[in-house]
Amino acid sequence: MKLADYNKAKARANSQRTNKRSTVSTQTRPIDTDRLDSMLGKLEDEHATLLDLAKAHKDALTHASVAELNAITMQTSDVLMRIAQIEDARRTMIINDTGSLASLDQLMEQFNASDRDRIGKRQTRLRELIMRVKDEQDAVRVASENLANHMRGLIKQVGASLSHAGTYSRGGAVDPSRSQVVSSLDVVQ
């Protein structure tokens, strides 16, 4: 195939894609802004719960409370499942109403002024909350890594102190390069 033929075919394919998009966008119905606002409100509530759980997670790490960590991990999993369900419902609603998955910013162009203001404020609060959750989860990750490093250090120290003859390496494995340990017991008195 010649380069010119290839470019024509590519242009034709792009034109067909553009025509399909414009066809889809003309067959849309208005978004139910009250339902969208309700879904964003639910997302906001779940992310607030997630933020509280991240703070509790960090606190449980500080106290090294295994029972608290297990409970918090289970609760966090439940919250994340609910967030995923709400997101799926939101995406489905948008696709059903518009024919394609559009961003919230793109959708707000279609809203009237009061809906745009209401949804825009909800969007701003949700974005800020998501960023706070991300920051708190980053702090939890750092605290977890610090605790894990601390525990590794303790294990190495215990291993070194129990290997008085130098038979075991700091990692706890037998080190074949060391000299053989000969021990004796005096049984004569």
Give the tokens for residue 121: 């404020």
Give the tokens for residue 4: 């010119």
Q: What is the DSSP letter of 174?
A: B
Statement: the pTM of the whole predicted model exceeds 0.85: no
> Hey, which of 39-43, 106-110, 181-185 has the most confident mean pLDDT?
39-43
pLDDT digits (tens, 9 = 90+) for 65-92: 889 999 999 999 999 999 999 999 999 8
Residue 20 pLDDT exceeds 90: no
Within 13 Å and on the Cβ side, how many CA atoms surround 36?
25
Distance from C-alpha of 98 to C-alpha of 38, rounded to nearest angstrom: 18
How wide is the angle at C-alpha 101 spanned by C-alphas 99 and 107, nearest 5°? 90
- Fold designation for 29-161: Methane Monooxygenase Hydroxylase; Chain G, domain 1 (1.20.58)
Contact 108, 31 (CB under 8 A): no
Average pLDDT of span 152-172: 66
What mean pLDDT, rounded, does the chain reach?
79
Distance from C-alpha of 66 to C-alpha of 147, rounded to nearest angstrom: 12
Domain residue limits, the chain:
29-161
Instruction: Please indicate whether residue 19 or residue 114 has the higher confidence score (pLDDT).
Output: 114
Distances (CA, A) of 144 to 62, 131, 133, 141, 157: 9, 20, 16, 5, 20
pLDDT digits (tens, 9 = 90+) for 144-159: 898 888 888 888 777 6
Least confident of 3-12, 108-117, 118-127: 3-12
For residue 88, the one-letter residue type is D
Residue 19 pLDDT exceeds 60: no
Contact 84, 96 (CB under 8 A): no
Distance from C-alpha of 93 to C-alpha of 36, rounded to nearest angstrom: 8
